[in-house]
Amino acid sequence: MKSNDGYEYKVHKAILASRSEVLKGNFLHNTLECQTNILESPFESATLSQVIMFIYSGKIARIDEIPETLLVAANYYQLKGLKTLSEEALHRKLTVGNVIETLKLADMHSAEMLKKKCLEFIKDGQAKLILKTEGWAKEESVELIKLIYEYVIDDEKY
């Protein structure tokens, strides 16, 4: 497996395929990956090394350092356990200053537990402070604003 910054990892196809349907799909049929025995990853080595560690051991060493990219990678490779750990790490790091960006990340990568935690954080007395942040001022997604409004104001839907 090769990171997008050129680092190569020696891995076992069978282990990768047994842990991820996405990776399994890369090794089926007559794909380029099967022919070259190199699977190109869209992730940097810092992230990919942690993904591989998780695939092999079910453990992760740097979850609190790079939870955002690990969430993206977990979603990309459909690694539910890693996705859950990433969501939990991001939840622990929620602040008034980062909740909007974290909510966007959760929404973009179908991280429903994290999305709900972000909305709860906003609703639990933080909404007025969040309205003053740069993240809120720059927010252009009508869907995200609507989601926050519905959760905070019109909570009968939830």
DSSP letter for each residue of 85-148: HHHHHHHHT--TTTHHHHHHHHHHTT-HHHHHHHHHHIIIIIHHHHTTSHHHHH---HHHHHHH
pLDDT for 72 equals 98
> In this structure, what CATH number is given to the domain that contains residue 69?
3.30.710.10
pLDDT for 78 equals 97
Assigned domain for 87 exists: no
Q: Look up the pTM and report it.
A: 0.85
pLDDT in tens, 62-97: 899 999 999 999 999 999 999 999 999 999 999 888
Q: Which residues of the chain have pLDDT under 70?
A: 34, 125-137, 139-141, 154-158
Q: Domain check: are 22 and 54 in the same one? A: yes
Q: Which domain holds residue 63?
A: 1-78
Q: Domain check: are 67 and 124 in the same one? A: no
pLDDT for 123 equals 82
pLDDT for 133 equals 66
Q: Of 50, 78, 106, which closes a domain?
A: 78
Number of domains into which the chain is organized: 2
